[in-house]
Amino acid sequence: MYHLKCIECGAEYSKDEVIYTCRKCDGLLDVIYDYSSIKIDMEKLKTECPSVWKYAKLLPIEREPVTIREGGTPLYKCNRLAEKIGIKELYVKHEGMNPTGSFKDRGMTVGVTKALELGMNTVACASTGNTSAALAIYGAKAGIPVIVLLPAGKVALGKVAQALMHGAKVLSIRGNFDDALALVRTLCSQEKIYLLNSINPYRLEGQKTIGFEIADQLGFKVPDRVVLPVGNAGNITAIWKGFREFKKLGITDLLPKMTGIQAAGSCPIVNAIKSGAPEITPEEKPETVATAIRIGNPVNAKKALAAIRESGGTAESVTDEEILAAQKDLARLEGIGVEPASAASVAGLKKLVDMGVISRDETVVCITTGHLLKDPQTVIDVCEKPTVVDANIEAIRKAIFGKAE
């Protein structure tokens, strides 16, 4: 059994309501379970392969899920990257290996299923790209219409291609992501359209399974620290909830330090953590090459600040140059292809180790949130150009060895 509860005033709402924020104080909502009634079969948990629906007892869904087999993403031990950064034990949880190429699939399998459960037959979101790609695909699987609002000219090519091919109604807004989110919230409040951005607490329930999987893949042990990129700030909140729930149920006995990384041109959470402010000051004109996290007014800021503070973690910003260097390191040292926003986690880890904030002895998991092929244009822009050669062996030898013989 579960219900919704406001994180600010504690008001409670039934699971049958279509509601995104508290009617009394507009606070964010959390899904609260009756944990005493949840019985976990540890033997089954230890033997079954990780996937979102492996943890169905901790998900707020009663019907058959809309699924294309999300989750179960690899947790790579990255020794070469660890050596370069200068820490003992580093893992990368590559969420780009989800079916649509990002962690959003975990949220959408739950969110779109919940839409059907609530009798909502049209879904919508604002997006910097990945949310719209995932919603388009899960909406197609469910057979319902999808509307997506994107900031014009600021969404990576692969993500727009996914939304278009899978049949979403794509609206390109003359404005940024924060403008698009405000508009889609208004639209969903006026029409019978289900909002599937991360302000929807059910979507975050799917994403908390990243925390479950990390513990599961480490033999039900918890790393000292989890480092991840932060944009609208839903994922850091969701993963923290996942770790807390496993501890509450006695599946694990520790909690990791949650560490959020933002781009320097778009870092309201970092500013609040550094200044000790209780709330963020929105960034009016967010800018970064990592378009997925080009977000100035994260809707989940309150939950994210609490996650970072309660866990004893921190937040740091990185420049676009640091992000692009980390993207190359992941690709060339570990064979892990990620989009720029994802590489912010590794760039941030490097910066925090260099600053002495993260100890070299910590066991760290960096989360890479989206696949390299989401944003091919940035790759083309930052990599060496292909060498054009004539179609004969002399020309090829010359291009490789500098001489024909």
Ligand X SMILES: N[C@@H](CCOP(=O)(O)O)C(=O)O
- Residue numbering of the annotated binding site for pyridoxal 5'-phosphate: 130, 231-235, 369
Burial 92-106 (b: 16+ CB within 10 A, else e): bbbbbbbbbbbbbbb
Q: Which residue in this structure is represented by tokens 């989009």?
A: 339
- Tell me which of 21, 113, 209, 232 binds ligand X, using CB under 6 A: 232
Other CB atoms within 10 A of residue 2 CB: 19
CB of 39 to ligand PLP, least distance (A): 31
The two tokens of residue 304 are: 């994210």
Residue 94 pairs with which residues in a beta bridge? Answer: 368
Report in angstroms how near the CB of residue 112 gets to ligand PLP at its nearest: 17
Residue 237 touches ligand X, criterion: CB under 6 A? no
What is the Cα–Cα distance from 163 to 167, expressed in whole angstroms? 7
**Residue 200 engages ligand PLP in binding (rule: CB under 6 A):** no
User: How many binding residues for ligand PLP (CB under 6 A)?
Assistant: 18
Interface with ligand PLP, residue 292, by CB under 6 A: yes
Phi-psi category of residue 402: left, alpha or beta, with phi > 0 → left and psi -120 to 50 → alpha: left
Of residues 108-137, which lie at the interface with ligand X (CB under 6 A)?
125, 127-131
Interacting residues with ligand PLP between 214 and 243 (CB under 6 A):
229-235
Residues 6+ apart with CB under 8 A from 390: none
Q: Does 206 bind ligand X (CB under 6 A)?
A: no
Q: Is 317 in the site for ligand PLP (CB under 6 A)?
A: no
Cβ atoms < 10 Å from Cβ of 175:
16
- State the minimum distance, in angstroms, from the CB of residue 83 to ligand X: 31
Q: How many helices (H) and strands (E) does the chain have?
A: 15, 13
The verdict on 130 binding ligand PLP (CB under 6 A) reads: yes
- Any idea what the Cα angle at residue 238 is, between residues 145 and 286, rounded to 5°? 75
100 binds ligand X, rule: CB under 6 A: no
Token pair for residue 80? Answer: 């070469």
One of 98, 113, 162, 198 touching ligand PLP (CB under 6 A): 198
Residue 265 contact partner, candidates ligand PLP, ligand X, none, CB within 5 to 8 A by sort of partner:
none
Task: Judge whether 298 and 305 are in contact, CB under 8 Å.
Answer: no
Strand partners, 146: 123
233 binds, among ligand PLP, ligand X, none (CB under 5 to 8 A by kind): ligand PLP
Q: Mask: binding to ligand PLP, 354-393, rule CB under 6 A, as x and -?
A: ---------------xx-----------------------
Q: Which residues bind ligand X (CB under 6 A)?
A: 104, 125, 127-131, 197-198, 231-232, 234, 292
